[in-house]
Structure 1
Amino acid sequence: MISIVTPLLNEKNYVKPFLENLKLLYGNFELILVDGGSSDGTVQEIENNLHKFPKNVKLFKTERGRANQMNKGVEEAIGNILLFLHVDSSIPNDSIGLIEKNILDRKIVGGAFIHKFSNEDVFLRFLNTFGYLRSSISKIFFGDYGIFLRKDIFQKIGGYDNILFLEDVELCRKAKRYGKLIQIKRNIITSPRRFIKEGKLKLTIAFVLANIMNYLDFRPKFLLRYFV
């Protein structure tokens, strides 16, 4: 079974459409929601909508921090495959089956989908194209690519590093030591809300800078605002 793990922090407006999308998924899965101390009514919104959701849903609370929240979710997961999914992203209806089919190959330890923004202009389309070229070659994925991983490999790695940002990049780097990561040729659709809020060029520069700093094992706190 697949355990979908989703970290939450002040996501009230995205909870309902997120749950509605997951209701359309085929296959056997559980959903684990981990709130990091929301103050906007996110938890109440979840509780108000759970009766509409026929699948197994668990809600937990822990300290703020995406890595910490996802590690908590894995602790509570019963599936042998993990799928880390952001609340502002949606995946194809047959995603569960696609993941299970690919993971049957024991050489494959995990992977992700092809990232696509829900609303695109020329600049965002360029970012999608560049992101696809980068990820298809490196097999290093960001969190909004829908990273999936065998649970035993996640445990061998030691889970997500509790770092300020780009914990997903570090997870992929470590996972590749144990086997192959793949990219399923289907789109995961993600909201460009952060690019709209922060400014497209400004946020892109921040991401590039963060990746360089991460490579040097230096993560200045002023960049954290772009990742939470």
Structure 2
Amino acid sequence: MISIIIPVYNEEKQLPILLSHLESCSSGYISEIIIVDGGSTDESTKIEGDFENTIIISSEKGRAVQMNSGARIARSPVLYFLHADSFPPENFDRLILEEVEKGNKAGCFQMRFDKDHWWLNLMGWLTKVNHISCRGGDQSLFVSKELFEQIDGFDESYKVYEDNEIVKRLYEQKQFTIIKNWLTTSARLYEKMGVWNTQLLFVEIYWKRRFGATAEELYAHYYNRLNS
């Protein structure tokens, strides 16, 4: 069985859509959906009673902290970390468990955006490639709880880039596979900032980290650019 962990902050509109999608696309291997709220000021925490096997907990804001909080209470041997605006494919839970049974203890799906733009289409196509440079949090992440605990989970010093950081450690364990089915994620940040400004921001974050920027410096740069 699988525990799905969804970190949220002010996702009252998105969460019901995602939860309905998960219910309709599941093959029946979901034991629980753990929504970890980082202090939302909207109605994100009011949907618990509407969906079966869904619980809501609170933690400090920050995806790494929130996802670790969800993982600590998860009951299943397989964890699936999912962003609120990413929609996994049909039978996603069965596909994940099939990979785990093959010995693949961590991985993600191929990803495409919900916006038709040649650059975003290219970025989506590159997620087929099993290389660390083609990874990102919007692709979701499954990992056995045993392996997750072995590598000490997400590094909570990261408020951005936390997905890339843990994936790097999973690649070092030689435990990462790509499931050849498409997850669809929202292009809302690209629509807010513009495709090229958003892509430039991600490139800046990548190279700053590559040249030794701290987690705090990455966070400061990201939010300064986001709010400029």
> Relative to structure 1, is the Cα distance of residues 20 and 225 closer, same or farther in structure 2, using a 3 angstrom cutoff?
farther
How far apart are 1:198 and its partner, in Å? 1.1
For residues 194-214 of structure 1, the C-alpha deviation after alignment (integer angstroms, 9 at most, x for no partner) is: 100111100100001101112
Contact 2:132 2:167 in 1 (8 A): no
Alignment of 1:55-204 (within 5 A): 56-106=53-103, 108-129=104-125, 131-132=126-127, 135-138=129-132, 141-162=135-156, 163-204=158-199
Could you tell me which amino acid in structure 2 is paired with residue 26 of structure 1? S
SS of equivalent residue, structure 1 residue 75: helix
Alignment partner for residue 34 of structure 1, among 33, 36, 41? 36
Say whether residues 1:20 and 2:20 are aligned partners.
Answer: yes
> Relative to structure 1, is the Cα distance of residues 132 and 20 closer, same or farther in structure 2, using a 3 angstrom cutoff?
same
Partners in 2 of 1:126 and 1:28 — Cα distance?
Answer: 32
SS of equivalent residue, structure 2 residue 13: helix
Contact 1:6 1:33 in 2 (8 A): yes
Contact 2:2 2:78 in 1 (8 A): yes
- Unaligned ranges ≥5, structure 2: none
Alignment of 1:6-17 (within 5 A): 6-17=6-17
SS of equivalent residue, structure 1 residue 149: strand
Query: Where in structure 1 do 4 or more consecutive aligned residues deviate above 4 Å?
Result: none
- Unaligned ranges ≥5, structure 1: none
> Relative to structure 1, is the Cα distance of residues 42 and 66 closer, same or farther in structure 2, using a 3 angstrom cutoff?
same
Deviates more, 1:71-80 or 1:156-165: 156-165
- TM-score scaled by length of structure 1: 0.90
Contact 1:117 1:192 in 2 (8 A): yes
Paired positions, count? 220
Partners in 2 of 1:141 and 1:132 — Cα distance?
Answer: 7
How far apart are 1:178 and its partner, in Å? 2.8
Contact 1:141 1:169 in 2 (8 A): yes
Task: Give me the identity figure in percent.
Answer: 29
- TM-score scaled by length of structure 2: 0.90
> Relative to structure 1, is the Cα distance of residues 89 and 77 closer, same or farther in structure 2, using a 3 angstrom cutoff?
same
> Relative to structure 1, is the Cα distance of residues 199 and 139 closer, same or farther in structure 2, using a 3 angstrom cutoff?
closer
For residues 177-223 of structure 1, the C-alpha deviation after alignment (integer angstroms, 9 at most, x for no partner) is: 33321100001100100100111100100001101112233133121
